[in-house]
Structure 1
Amino acid sequence: MEKIWLKMWPKGFPKQLTFVEKPLHEFLRDTAKQHPKKAAINYYGNQISFQQLDELSDRLAAALCDMGVTKGDRVSLFLENCPQFVIAYYGVLKTGGIVVAVNPMFKEDELKYELQDAGARAIVALDHLYPMVKNIQKDTSLSHVIVTSYWDFLPDDPSLPIHSSMKTPKKVFSETHEILDLLAEYAPEPPHVEIDIRKDPALLQYTSGTTGLPKGAIITHYNLLHNTVGSAVWNRISEDDVHLSVLPFFHVTGMIHSMTMPVHTGTPNVMLSRFDTGTAMKAIAAFGCTTWTSITTMNVAVVNSPDIGQYELRSLRHCLSGGAPIPEEILKKWREIVGAELVEGYGMSETISQTHVNPHTNLKYGSVGIPHFGVDCRVIDVETGDDLPIGAEGELLVKGPMVTRGYWNRPQETAEVLKDGWLATGDIVRMDEDGYFYIISRKKDMIKASGYSVFPAEVEALLYEHPAVEEVGVIGVPDPYRGENIKAFVILRPEYRGKVREDEVIAWAREKMAAFKYPRIVEFVDELPKTGSGKILKRVLRDREAKKGDHHMTKSELLEQMVKDAGISKSAANAALNSFITASQMR
């Protein structure tokens, strides 16, 4: 595909990144020497300098080495955002080990699956999560468990409100290692390990499992470094920037833009363990945060907050978001309130975050932007694999220095998505005449309704225009006439609850969308199942619907639907339906 996006390339930016090729932890060491007293982390008022961060991760690396962790061993982090996550992450890298950051919202079976799949030898876990680890440890390869508490690094008098889930008193377990004991006992003398950054894995990043069992994408030290540097350059990070970090570090977007990039650039990180709208706004105002990478649900919560007028948010200069399409209404409100544009991007676990980002000076609403540093793209026909022209919708393939080398112990799955360096993303996109990309839907989420292909994201984007809709997730459900029906799960804005009905939303949608596209079924819900990164779990919605088992319309409803969709008389529809029923019974 011709790289037409280069004509929109930001002025003054290099087309390719150039940087010293060494592991991320070596850059931490450099920063600690150059700016030893500068704050690396501000955790509810507890400030940790770069020198302290480097030394603490050295101490933990020495402890892990003494436990037998060597190059290539997997070490799991079962932690919310906290200083211990950063300490452990860089400590593992210093041993030559491979980080396996697991979702702290996991239940036992989910945790056991990833620990077994990765073959993790050790784990660093929060104390309130340890009981889960204890229950499944016998079924895993874990030989060492390190436990920590929020209170190990929280100040006595936090400068920001701490989330209610963090207020539980510290717990100690005799059969585990206490992280504070290890940091006190071991000298800051990590092992010397030779790292080939182009080949050696630094991370097993598990996919979110929105369409199946999670798979561990093998991320090399070079993959990590490239997108870390790319994030800093694209956002023009300077030594005066201050980051708000609330996206979960176990996920690629939070890991790169909210953890490794601030460390790499030697810039302070105002760290929150859990997202709370008021606390996030208070942190921005109190500490003059200039950079915030977030997700759509956070952006929606901020612009809709009744308290937004109480906080000065205009210190923000660099605002990135991803995870799901952002309604244009939210983008415009954000710009009005904050003063800076909210820039959308796109990436995957397999690409350790960004492959596409909007240029700050020339963004397009609704687009995820243009290919990032070193990225090449193709848009192909999902049936034939042929390359498609500009404007056509097809599957996105990407190639570049951030692409995984494959899935851990999954050669067949690797071969299915990686061919000659091209990664099949499974996302349906289109590219416009300027080289900007637009996400249409997941290939596996595509709905076949009356022979038409319907992409849930399109329906969701239109439903967001309804004033009563706060959040929405769309899936296909079985239907004997249409093949699949379109169903929308809607969370209503608080002021509309009890004042609008499902059938009214359907009637509104009928006027806004093509006959084959509008949802025939709407269900109001209080919440939607999501991954830790905020993506709606369509798989869970589909599973729930499958268990209900019955989405069939009555014959009279089918007749009414046929008349509307096909524009035929009721008698003709009745004859066609009877023929269909007879044929179905004979099969």
Structure 2
Amino acid sequence: MVHLDPKPYVIERPGNPLSVAPHVVQPGVPERFHVPDTTLFDNLELSARRFPNKAAIEFYGTTITYAALLAEVERMAGYLQHVCGVAGGDRVLVFSQNSPQFVAAYFAILRADAVVVPVNAMLVEGELRHIIEDSGAVAGFAARELLDRLVSSAGGTPLRSIVVHSYGDALKGDDAGLNVPDWVRQRSRAEALPGGAVHWADALAQAQAPAPHRAVADDLCMLPYTSGTTGAPKACMHTHRTVMASVAGAQLWRRSHAESIYLAVAPMFHLLGLQNGVNAPVFMGGTIVLLPRWDCRTAAELIARHRVTFWAAPPPMLVEFFAQPGIETFDLSSLSVVLGGGAAVPAGTAKLMKEGYGLQFIEGYGLTETASFLIANPLHAARAGYLGVPTYGVDARIVDPVTFEEMPCGEVGEIVVHGAQVMLGYWHKPKADAESFIAIDGKRFFRTGDLASVDTDGYFMMRDRLKRMVNASGYKVWPAEVEAMLHTHPAIQEACVIAAPDPHRGETVKAIVVLKSDCGVIDEAAILAWCRANMATYKAPRIVQITDRLPRSATGKIAWRELQDKEMQAVRSSEQA
């Protein structure tokens, strides 16, 4: 059994046994920092006390101050406690696109001493029901266009209360000349909502005062789900302290401050968006410039108008942004930090960012299991194509994935990590914990499943994956989960899912399937349509190939690696032709 480590109140940089070269250490960045011994809600309360009239959120011409946000959070927390019966430690879903209501719901759940379950807005009913049942959520927040999906997934589960919001209710009428999509403009209307749900405004109108905030730093605060290598997604158990270690350390590393202005367009139900678009700005007392979904033109307008300084974005978003016609007409000079992970920015885009705007993409490496921030490039010494160096208190090592012996510098092995931001474990998954955590030198390390090497300066470079995974526009897709869904198709006998290179998404999902002999006439288009109807958009295969048989290993298992290698070889051959 691997025991949890003592509480990390003070952590230093770097924490790994491999030395980081002196020229890599960032000037102006302290060698250590104290992890706040408070909750994530405390961050909002403190920022509201310090900056009551400052803009917490800018939303299509509407400004929401810190004082107004806190007041709404307090009333909604009271409603959760006194009307919905939410108690400390209860799980509450947030099922929505980016919106002011998402931010308020998130902090209201924390204010009520409950546990946030952020849910991907693209999930379909079967996927959604698994999360409801697995988490045991007793209440939820849902955007109006997603409500029917949530209600139809919740029958027979503990979910008993739903609060519904319409994005347009957060708009004050003046859109500041911005392009506001019709689905965002939609306001709530007088109607009986399905599933006994209540309107956001009606919940607030009860003006319920919450009980005193009693949560402490080591209480569970969040259960974000990550897709699994063996089927259904698993929830990562994060406490206020694990999330705070990531948020607080990241802001020191990136030199953010109270005047930082954050473009929040990465989905908030994903840790990249939640940490960098919600937790980071509220911790600093900065401003969130909020965009519900990706719109490259409006993003440029918002950066110029609000003088955005900080932007966390997956590489495909940056490629489209800097390639859009007329981008040179926008004043982007306020941007100082543009960061992300999952892949490097293509060389052409990186060159344009550097030469045209003096920007360098700051690549980093983190997982849902590590609350995002883990390994990152120093701002002053970022290296293209590298994950970066270990951040505060992170002990990151390259080990042999079988023996767990540390590999020599430059050799490829699995990344294993120890740090204050690493989750406690998987929710109700002791077997997964046993497979994912190991003890080295008396410390608890998480196995990432990613293969990398580290150079003499301490920079990590991704090399391969130990686990099967497709990285589609920054979303992790585990083939086993998609294969399990494909096997429910009445015409599919067996399936193998691999990654196919994609110029926009980086990688996309490809399914190679064998049909049943009595399936009748069915083609790739029909299977693709079925996938879109039964899986979240980012998981659904974009390419289907029908074959007579799948290759197998000597033990009879499908030889997925052979198919993956053949796919990559075909791409290389076409590029050389």
Q: Which TM-score band (shorter chain)?
A: 0.7 to 0.9
Partner of 2:428: 409
Change (3 A) 1:261 1:192: same
| Deviation of the 1:492 alpha carbon | 8.0
Q: Confirm or deny: 8 A CA contact 1:278 1:307 kept in the other structure.
A: no
What secondary structure, in the 3-state scheme, does the structure 2 residue paired with 1:173 have? coil
Between the aligned partners of 1:17 and 1:487, the Cα distance in structure 2 is 40
Between the aligned partners of 2:171 and 2:283, the Cα distance in structure 1 is 24
Between the aligned partners of 2:504 and 2:159, the Cα distance in structure 1 is 44
Between the aligned partners of 2:277 and 2:260, the Cα distance in structure 1 is 12
Bigger mean CA offset, 21-30 vs 160-169? 160-169
Partner of 1:179: 200
Between the aligned partners of 2:69 and 2:330, the Cα distance in structure 1 is 31
TM-score by length of 1: 0.77
User: Deviations for 1:431-489, whole angstroms, at most 9, x for unmatched residues?
Assistant: 1110011112221239xxxxxxxxx99xx9xxxxxxxxxxxx9x9xxxxxxxx999844
Gaps of 5+ in 2: 1-15, 480-495, 506-527, 552-565, 570-577
Partner of 1:142: 159
Change (3 A) 1:485 1:194: closer
Q: Counterpart amino acid of 1:417?
A: S
What secondary structure, in the 3-state scheme, does the structure 2 residue paired with 1:4 have? coil
| Deviation of the 1:167 alpha carbon | 4.3
Change (3 A) 1:339 1:201: same
Partner of 2:214: 194
Partner of 1:105: 122
Change (3 A) 1:487 1:74: closer
Partner of 2:78: 62
Partner of 2:238: 219
Partner of 1:441: 464
Q: Confirm or deny: 8 A CA contact 1:380 1:386 kept in the other structure.
A: yes
Between the aligned partners of 2:463 and 2:282, the Cα distance in structure 1 is 34
Q: Confirm or deny: 8 A CA contact 1:239 1:266 kept in the other structure.
A: yes
Between the aligned partners of 1:442 and 1:536, the Cα distance in structure 2 is 20
Q: Confirm or deny: 8 A CA contact 2:229 2:467 kept in the other structure.
A: no
Matched residue count: 484
Gaps of 5+ in 1: 447-455, 461-472, 476-483, 494-525, 553-561, 566-587
Between the aligned partners of 2:385 and 2:538, the Cα distance in structure 1 is 18
Q: Does 1:348 align with 2:367?
A: yes
Q: 2:326 aligns with which of 292, 307, 323?
A: 307
Q: 1:32 aligns with which of 48, 61, 79?
A: 48
Q: Counterpart amino acid of 2:58?
A: N
Q: Confirm or deny: 8 A CA contact 2:17 2:395 kept in the other structure.
A: no
What secondary structure, in the 3-state scheme, does the structure 2 residue paired with 1:260 have? helix
What secondary structure, in the 3-state scheme, does the structure 2 residue paired with 1:147 have? strand
What secondary structure, in the 3-state scheme, does the structure 1 residue paired with 2:433 have? helix
What secondary structure, in the 3-state scheme, does the structure 1 residue paired with 2:94 have? strand
Q: Does 1:4 align with 2:19?
A: yes
Partner of 1:81: 98
Partner of 1:392: 411
Between the aligned partners of 1:201 and 1:3, the Cα distance in structure 2 is 32
TM-score by length of 2: 0.78
| Deviation of the 1:6 alpha carbon | 5.8
What secondary structure, in the 3-state scheme, does the structure 2 residue paired with 1:426 have? strand
| Deviation of the 1:194 alpha carbon | 2.5
Between the aligned partners of 1:550 and 1:197, the Cα distance in structure 2 is 53
| Deviation of the 1:354 alpha carbon | 1.2
What secondary structure, in the 3-state scheme, does the structure 2 residue paired with 1:284 have? helix
Partner of 2:303: 284
Between the aligned partners of 1:162 and 1:337, the Cα distance in structure 2 is 29
Between the aligned partners of 1:277 and 1:376, the Cα distance in structure 2 is 37
| Deviation of the 1:108 alpha carbon | 0.7
| Deviation of the 1:415 alpha carbon | 1.1
Between the aligned partners of 2:548 and 2:357, the Cα distance in structure 1 is 46
Partner of 2:560: none
Change (3 A) 1:147 1:485: closer
Between the aligned partners of 2:497 and 2:138, the Cα distance in structure 1 is 47
| Deviation of the 1:491 alpha carbon | 4.6
What secondary structure, in the 3-state scheme, does the structure 1 residue paired with 2:449 have? strand
| Deviation of the 1:319 alpha carbon | 1.0
What secondary structure, in the 3-state scheme, does the structure 2 residue paired with 1:319 have? strand
Q: Confirm or deny: 8 A CA contact 1:291 1:316 kept in the other structure.
A: yes
Partner of 1:468: none
Q: Confirm or deny: 8 A CA contact 2:122 2:537 kept in the other structure.
A: no
Between the aligned partners of 1:210 and 1:286, the Cα distance in structure 2 is 43
Q: 2:188 aligns with which of 153, 170, 175?
A: 170
Partner of 1:157: 174
Partner of 1:369: 388
Q: Counterpart amino acid of 1:25?
A: F
Change (3 A) 1:152 1:419: same
Q: Confirm or deny: 8 A CA contact 2:451 2:466 kept in the other structure.
A: yes
Between the aligned partners of 2:201 and 2:53, the Cα distance in structure 1 is 21
Between the aligned partners of 2:504 and 2:238, the Cα distance in structure 1 is 39
Between the aligned partners of 2:263 and 2:59, the Cα distance in structure 1 is 11
Change (3 A) 1:435 1:168: same
Q: Confirm or deny: 8 A CA contact 2:344 2:384 kept in the other structure.
A: no
Q: Confirm or deny: 8 A CA contact 1:358 1:364 kept in the other structure.
A: yes
Q: Counterpart amino acid of 1:249?
A: M
Between the aligned partners of 1:169 and 1:60, the Cα distance in structure 2 is 19
Change (3 A) 1:307 1:375: same
Which runs of at least 4 in structure 1 moved beyond 3 Å after TM superposition?
167-174, 208-212, 484-493, 534-537, 539-542, 547-552
Q: Counterpart amino acid of 1:397?
A: V
| Deviation of the 1:541 alpha carbon | 6.8
Partner of 2:556: none
Q: Structure with the greater relative contact order (CA < 8 A, sep ≥ 6): 1 or 2?
A: 2
Bigger mean CA offset, 404-413 vs 381-390? 381-390
Q: Does 1:250 align with 2:250?
A: no
Q: Counterpart amino acid of 1:426?
A: G
Partner of 2:11: none
| Deviation of the 1:303 alpha carbon | 1.9
Q: Counterpart amino acid of 2:89?
A: G
Q: Counterpart amino acid of 1:429?
A: A
Between the aligned partners of 2:345 and 2:230, the Cα distance in structure 1 is 22
Partner of 1:509: none
What secondary structure, in the 3-state scheme, does the structure 2 residue paired with 1:214 have? strand
Bigger mean CA offset, 205-214 vs 390-399? 205-214
CA root-mean-square deviation: 3.1
| Deviation of the 1:372 alpha carbon | 1.1
